[in-house]
Amino acid sequence: MLKRIKNFTINHFFSQRMIVQYSIPRSGSTLIWNMIKLFSDSPLKVHSASELEKSLDNYRFITTIRHPLDVACSIISVLNLDFDKIGLTQSIKKIQSHSLVDLKNIIENQDSIILRYENFVNDYEYAFKKIECFFGFPVSSEKKDLFKNKFSLHNVKLISEEQNIFKNYDPKTLIHGNHISSRNGKISSYKECLSSELILYAEDQLSDYIEFFKY
């Protein structure tokens, strides 16, 4: 009886805390936010702690991370910048504007899980298992299959094309125009997009992110 009361108290406490999908941009966050909606009615999706109205310990976090150089190249693509030092510098500044300190705090000190882009982008089941464990209950196979179909690369591209340009987005899925680049979210695509000189430059500028994310 005491065990049941304890479990109810813990579950009730968790249920009162809003779920937040927190990440740097272009790290698969939109896909994961849509997946979270199968578990929670109204999760938040933010890229900065300043967007949250309460202190961090009032939330539960599901974070996404991705190789910072792939993030940089993705930003260059969606903003139609040039793949040169000027475009790369602009992209890096956008990454650095999202506080690594806040992200470290969430990952190290808050109730959170980390989903690494490279593990889930081609394996939705991996993400489902991690999120099911986080919430403590499963999603039916039928719902998973519907999700996998709706958010297949092909169908995401169709939704994105309807939005035309990046500043437009579908309000139900938050998929932007130009959401998927010509590289289709390929892992380590920065090696194809950047010269060796630019890779060294980006690695130096984003060394703290690379070290923290263990890339």
Question: pLDDT 10s per residue in the chain (215 long)?
Answer: 444 434 444 444 445 689 999 999 999 999 999 999 999 989 999 998 889 988 888 999 999 999 999 999 999 998 999 999 999 999 999 999 988 888 888 988 889 999 999 999 999 999 999 999 999 999 999 999 999 999 999 999 999 999 988 889 999 999 999 898 888 899 999 999 999 999 999 999 999 999 999 99
| Overall pTM > 0.75 | yes
Question: CA geometry: angle at 50 spanning 40 and 166, to 5°?
Answer: 75
Contact 154, 58 (CB under 8 A): no
pLDDT of residue 54: 85
CB count in 10 Å sphere of residue 102 = 17
pLDDT of residue 181: 84
Which residue type sits at 191? Answer: K
pLDDT of residue 75: 94
**Token pair in block for residue 126:** 């991996």
For the chain, what is the domain count?
A: 1
State the CATH number of the domain containing residue 91.
Answer: 3.40.50.300
- Based on its alpha-carbon atoms, the radius of gyration of the chain, rounded to whole angstroms, reads 18
Contacts 24+ apart (CB under 8 A), 128-134: 128/35, 131/32, 131/35, 131/36, 131/39, 131/62, 132/39, 134/60, 134/62
d(CA 94, CA 53): 22
pLDDT of residue 15: 54
Q: Which domain holds residue 191?
A: 2-213
Q: What are the E-state strand segments in 92-170?
A: 112-116
